[in-house]
Amino acid sequence: MKFFVAFALLVAAASASILPPAVIASTNPEVQEILASIQSPSTDPATAAALEQLLLEVLGLAKPEPIHVGPAIVDEYEPIHVGPAIVPFPIPDGGAVTEVEAAPVMPGPSASAPLVQIILNINAAANVPGSPVVVETNPPAPTPVQVVEEAEVPEPVIVVDQPVVAEPVIVAPILPSPVVVLPDILN
């Protein structure tokens, strides 16, 4: 089923076509007004050229601005400051940073009145209505006892007077290679 849906989407995308601007222009009233004003004999030629440019923008046929991919040419070199920005206070040009005025302190509620009041409504056991669900408790059934006539005989433990010592393995030492100090140019 997934394959069928993917195949249907692929066929729909492959069979789709872009509507030509003439089809769009025939249904858009704004384009119709621009075309009528361009073809009008009383329209100034300079205005007609501006209207043609507007028509191309509306239809999406205007040429985009070229993108320059080469290196940026800078006339003057300005160093990049990496330290913190130091802002003189107060700002002479009346910027957004201003001194903060202290707000007057309003007296809060009195200390005797609590801010949060908790009400506990606990009913006695006699006042609690019965549960609508009755759960029957059955005692667990006893499991049968298995009686074993003969006990299992464990295997005897072998006691050795002297333990067997394995021979030590001698490994050849690996010497580290000396450190090579690079010149300052390569660091």
Other CB atoms within 10 Å distance of the CB of residue 55: 19
C-alpha span between 89 and 98 (Å, rounded): 8
H-type alpha helices, 17-86: 21-27, 29-39, 45-59
Per the structure, the complete domain to which residue 41 belongs is given by 18-63
pLDDT at 183 over 80: yes
Q: Is residue 80 part of a domain?
A: no
Domain count, the chain: 1
Q: Is residue 107 part of a domain?
A: no
pLDDT of 65 reads: 72
pLDDT of 18 reads: 64
Element (H, E) at 8: helix 2-15
Q: Is residue 49 part of a domain?
A: yes
Q: Is residue 48 part of a domain?
A: yes
Q: Concatenate the DSSP letters of all residues of 71-88 into one string.
A: PPP-SS--PPP-SPPP--
pTM given for the model = 0.25
Stretch 69-87: mean pLDDT: 80
pLDDT at 126 over 60: no
The percent of residues above 70 in pLDDT, for the chain, comes to 70
Q: Is residue 43 part of a domain?
A: yes
pLDDT of 137 reads: 73
Q: What percent of the chain is helix, strand and coil (3-state, nearest 5)?
A: 25, 0, 75
pLDDT of 107 reads: 62
Q: Is residue 33 part of a domain?
A: yes
What pLDDT, in 10s, does the model give residues 35-71? 888 888 888 888 888 888 888 877 777 666 778 788 8
Q: Is residue 37 part of a domain?
A: yes
Q: Is residue 168 part of a domain?
A: no
